[in-house]
Amino acid sequence: MATKIFVNLPVRDLKKSIVFFTKLGFTFNPQFTDDKATCMIIGDNIFAMLLAEERFRDFTRKPISDARKSTEVLLALDAESREKVDEMVRNAAAAGRSIYTEPQDHGWMYTHSFADLDGHQWELLYMNESAIPQN
What is the distance, to the nearest Å, from the Cα of residue 9 to the centroid of all Cα atoms in its chain?
9
Q: Residues 64-99: pLDDT tens digits?
A: 999 999 988 999 999 999 999 999 999 999 998 889
Distance CA 54, CA 11 (A): 9
| Full-model pTM | 0.89
Tens digits of per-residue pLDDT, 29-54? 999 999 999 999 999 999 999 999 99
3-state secondary structure of 134: coil
**Summary mean pLDDT of the chain:** 94
Q: In what order do the strands lie in the sheet with 99-105?
A: 74-78, 121-127, 109-115, 99-105
Choosing among 2.60.120.260, 3.40.50.720, 3.10.180.10, 3.30.2000.10, the CATH entry for 1-64 is: 3.10.180.10
